[in-house]
Amino acid sequence: MESNNSGYWTANIKVWRLWTPVLLNMLKIRKPQLNLLEKLTNATAVSGDEGAIRKIVRVEVENIADEIKTDAMGNLLVTKRGKGRNRLKIMLAAHMDEIGFMLVN
């Protein structure tokens, strides 16, 4: 790695070495995450009928959300307000539906 400021890379490498174990520990998949994944994958949620997934997601975010709304299209809109000045605004978007097939004779 080359840089105009050689101390920059050295400092960043030290920070990376310090925080990498902490971040990896935070990202480990544990029993609660596996249980949630199991609930989400076992729920029926074909397009137009995402109610089961919406209910699971709502329960998961109720304790941390400042506001939860469901719009006319069935989208779940969750707001978590930040603190302090110069707050970042972040939007996370995901599909709740899954691919489904209708078989007819």
**Structural domain spans, the chain:** 1-30, 43-97
What are the pLDDT digits (tens) for 3-57?
455 555 566 666 667 777 777 777 778 898 889 989 998 998 888 889 999 999 9
67-100 b/e with 16+ CB inside 10 Å = b? eeeeeeeeebebeeeeeeeeeeeeeeeeebeeee
Q: Grade residue 1 by pLDDT with cuts at 50, 70 and 90.
A: very low
What are the pLDDT digits (tens) for 63-90?
999 999 999 999 999 999 988 888 888 8
**What pTM did the predictor assign?**
0.67
